[in-house]
Amino acid sequence: MKLKTLTIAALLGMAATTVQAVPVQWTTASGGNGHWYELSSTSATWQDAFAAANSMSYLGMPGYLATITSAEENTFVATLAGAEAWLGGSDEAVEGTWRWMNGPEAGKAFIFTSWAPNGEPNNTGIGEDYLHTNHAGQFGKWNDYGAPNSPAISYKYVIEYGVPEPATLSLMGLALAGLAAARRRKQ
């Protein structure tokens, strides 16, 4: 009996640790972009967060580390994160040139920024190449942090789900055209 109780307790404990938050939409009605956002339930290095976010999808939309393109989106994401969290920016390729590394903005230089007022980004120490928000308790303020060889730096991360990839849209368009043609033939 004791073994059965322990087994059930262990299974419940595992289930509790794997529960993910439900993505929330920043609706166009509220001034948003219609994308969905989710705070990870676990902490990870930037590299692991990047890989995990890019392997996810929601409602047919690809996941990626959040990319921030406006003050309003920054406020929405910072509120969702609540504490320090990784975002999808990096200057690892060219020091000082910050780009979005994934999502629809992949490869594009930052247009909007919200760097912390204490001289960020500052590339302190052995190099800081990855973007995170809510730096040192400063709501919505960004910091460069974590070098590629600093595996101990872990935060939760914000996953953004945007519009379906172009290939998905093309397939959806073909399917709709096929349905329309089939409907015309029946008439």
What kind and span of H or E run contains 144? Answer: strand 143-145
Can you give the CATH number for the domain in which 104 is found? Answer: 3.10.100.10
Task: Tell me if 33 is assigned to some domain.
Answer: no
User: Domain for residue 185, yes or no?
Assistant: no
159: nearest Cα among 30, 22, 29, 27: 22
Domain that includes residue 84, residue range: 44-164
Per-residue model confidence as pLDDT tens digits over 138-182: 999 999 998 776 667 899 999 999 976 554 445 555 556 666 666
Domain count of the fold of the chain: 1
With a cut of 70, say whether residue 78 has pLDDT above it: yes
Assess if residue 63 is contained within a domain: yes
Residue 6 lies in a domain: no
Q: What is the pTM of this model?
A: 0.77
> Is 175 among the domain residues?
no
Query: Rounded CA gap, 132 and 142, in Å?
Result: 6
